[in-house]
Amino acid sequence: MEKLNNRQFNQYCDLVYREAGIHLTEEKRELLNARIAKRLRVQNVSPDVYFGMIQNDPLELKFFLDAVTTNHTFFFRESRSFRYLDRGCSEIWCAASSSGEEPYSLAIYCLERGFKPSIMATDISVSCLEKGTNGVYPMQSVADIPKHLLGRYFQKGQGRFQGYVKVKDDVRRMVNFQRFNLVKDIPKSKTYDFIFCRNVMIYFDNESKEKVVGKLSNVLRTGGNFIIGGSESLSGLEHPLKYIEPSVYLKA
């Protein structure tokens, strides 16, 4: 594959920042080359032709953003903050849900404690949303889930699905997957008791972080919690949230 030259790399970096708020540095050049290679092969075009294509074709732009955004997650990741959830929580938004492990983990946690909130799960990646909607995962991705939870909330795959598990329908019905661009889209006019926006803002600069946190805070109810990733911080940003402990904020 033809690798990106400096001009092309800068053009693509600017477009990724403009469309997704993700700041790609020089250290990410090889990552971008690798991620874009598949789309160049599919379309059988040069980087310059493809750049024009994604600016004029909204569907191909979605495929491009899908390819370059990083999606790494697992069930019950950083679950310490789940303990703030209680029966008064009826609406949860997972604002960077990736392939669905986080919202399904939240659903299971709540069911185990006797309540059943509605969970909206959003991501910019079309393929991740499809995987989350299907709720099918390889066995290794649930290896750390206690056996009693695995038997209660997952079905073992048979035949061609040997080696996979599927989230049971009762859990899947609690989660509504939708595409949402944190930087460009406007949330619907409803409020949430909890908003999880974890392990995505590490890719944003402060300007994009502030914009995203402000937008999400607007639809967080007073007294609701805003949860970020363990390696993230809102320090130095203007926002209406009160720090509770690492990763956990309150809309006072």
Residue 45's CATH number:
1.10.155.10
Note the pLDDT of residue 11. Answer: 92
Alpha-carbon gap, residue 237 to 209, rounded angstroms: 8
Share of the chain above pLDDT 70, in %: 98
Q: What is the CATH number of the domain that holds 103?
A: 3.40.50.150
Shared-domain flag, residues 61 and 84: no
**Which residues 6+ apart lie within 8 Å of 17 measured at CB?**
23, 24, 208
Shared-domain flag, residues 216 and 242: yes
Q: Is residue 197 part of a domain?
A: yes
Q: Is residue 56 part of a domain?
A: yes
CB 54 within 8 A of CB 18: no
Note the pLDDT of residue 218. Answer: 96
Shared-domain flag, residues 124 and 220: yes
Q: Residue 219's CB: how many other CB atoms inside 10 A?
A: 18
Low-confidence ranges of the chain (pLDDT < 50): none
Shared-domain flag, residues 62 and 84: no
* Model confidence pLDDT, tens digit, residues 27-58: 888 888 888 888 898 899 999 999 999 999 99
Q: Is residue 143 part of a domain?
A: no
Shared-domain flag, residues 241 and 179: yes
Q: Is residue 191 part of a domain?
A: yes
Tokens of 83: 């303990």
Q: Which helix (H) or strand (E) holds 133?
A: helix 126-134
Residue-range definition of the domain harbouring residue 38: 6-68
Shared-domain flag, residues 98 and 188: yes
- Of 68, 96, 111, at which residue does a domain stop? 68
Note the pLDDT of residue 1. Answer: 57
Shared-domain flag, residues 47 and 102: no
- Of 44, 68, 92, at which residue does a domain stop? 68
Residue 94: HSE in the Cβ half-sphere, 13 Å Cα cutoff: 29
- Of 68, 103, 121, at which residue does a domain stop? 68
Alpha-carbon gap, residue 212 to 206, rounded angstroms: 10
Query: How many structural domains does the chain have?
Result: 2
pTM, to two decimals: 0.85
Task: Give CA torsion, residues 214, 220, 221, 222, to 10 deg.
Answer: -40
Note the pLDDT of residue 50. Answer: 93
Beta bridge partners of 119: 92, 175
Residue 189: HSE in the Cβ half-sphere, 13 Å Cα cutoff: 0
- The amino acid at 59: L
Note the pLDDT of residue 94. Answer: 97
Beta bridge partners of 195: 93, 226
Shared-domain flag, residues 174 and 234: yes
Shared-domain flag, residues 187 and 236: yes
Note the pLDDT of residue 21. Answer: 83
**What are the backbone angles phi and psi of residue 192, rounded to the nearest 5°?**
-125, 150
Tokens of 192: 């949430």
Note the pLDDT of residue 38. Answer: 84
Note the pLDDT of residue 46. Answer: 92
Query: Residue 81, exposed/middle/buried by CB under 10 A (0-12, 13-18, 19+)?
Result: buried
Shared-domain flag, residues 214 and 185: yes
Alpha-carbon gap, residue 237 to 240, rounded angstroms: 10
Shared-domain flag, residues 105 and 179: yes
Shared-domain flag, residues 49 and 91: no
Q: Is residue 150 part of a domain?
A: no
The closest alpha carbon to 43, from 5, 103, 1, belongs to 1
Q: Is residue 151 part of a domain?
A: no
